[in-house]
Structure 1
């Protein structure tokens, strides 16, 4: 039987995971989903591929993965089965059956990240796993001007972890913005681009907050883009405030709404067992 390729949009709370990518001795998002798929296939290994990694403590509202599955199961049933077999920290938001040439990582055309900062003077224990606590005065005009300096195509070597290898550090940032949530007294940073380097968004935030605090000059982003030196930029902000919100693809690559109506004999048996398990 031909293996079928599935594309999933997945949400997860990254607090108690050692990141997305599978690791031999740690609990990961990829590991948990593959464990569920192995139960569904009665022992057949299914390897998932993500649009990219997220670090320990980083969250996702729109991570995209794909995998090839040995049986034909309608997309809605695949979603229901995985949500019944994975921990409540993971939720499969959407499932579709796609063409064999779709790849969650290599077909991406861009990503959107957000970062939450709690400005309250006293730390909120209910926010500690989902925001960066930063109870210091901020110059919002300086912050917004500095964000604009990040937009466009640049060599972002100063905003990339030093151990990220020799890859090309040129990326295009389409949006770098911030809004103030007065009700919750939080900042919400948004970054959209055609790609992001390792720790890039977290280094953005760490540097931007220093500019807004007056610890760095207003034109610091321009200087950092020129020097191309990670040691010159600000600290890497903590992971818990970071969220992968959306992954973008060309519309011609992944066919939305495609599904199989016919279920093969083996797939039908597996689906019957999954229905029974879910009850």
Structure 2
């Protein structure tokens, strides 16, 4: 009770002496009350705090925006999965002419290569002109081929695809052409069971398709943007050299590809003097070893 009385009376002000029961003044209590400093922190008005508070409100799509989003999804799905080559080319050309084709559409087509949502109709069939049915389902290999065709056709139609999008497609191609380790090699290297199941699955594309895409990139002034991809392509050159040796082909193709990679490496390292790779190369030091892109 005495403590409660002290706190109640001292809250009125430091100058008010604290009284003990009986009318007297307690000396210790007076000294304790006088030693309490007055409040110096002024709290802002709660109304002002409410006015200054930033509130993020989610605004849902309007009816027009929602319909446009749905139409875009249908357009991209048809562009990715249609078996008619001329149909998707006409769709893409019309979108470019109407100035409705955007960079995120290219990225969506590239991402669709490994998206299972487009595998729903893999068993669908269509009637051909000869009266026979053919499989029209979308597979990762078909979507990869479609992504290459979409990017190349868009550039041919006058659309300037971003270098990052083209380089991303190159990475997807290079990974898709990578060979899967054999069962005998997996027993000694400790490959997991999931990786052993992939042995029977063929690659989605070939190394020849990778180099064809690189030739298209060179003709259209697109360049390799990472050292990891350069290292992966150097390993592909060796694989192609072994294939050429079995087929008794000359080494001119391999030499031309090595020259191309050398030019790309020089351009990558010294295009920007502020880059670390360029500084190391200009000092005569070996280039910085980057992590293997295929291990990610």
Give the TM-score normalised by structure 1. Answer: 0.25
Give the TM-score normalised by structure 2. Answer: 0.24
Bigger helix fraction: 2
Q: Which structure carries more relative contact order (alpha carbon 8 Å, separation 6+)?
A: 1
Bigger strand fraction: 1
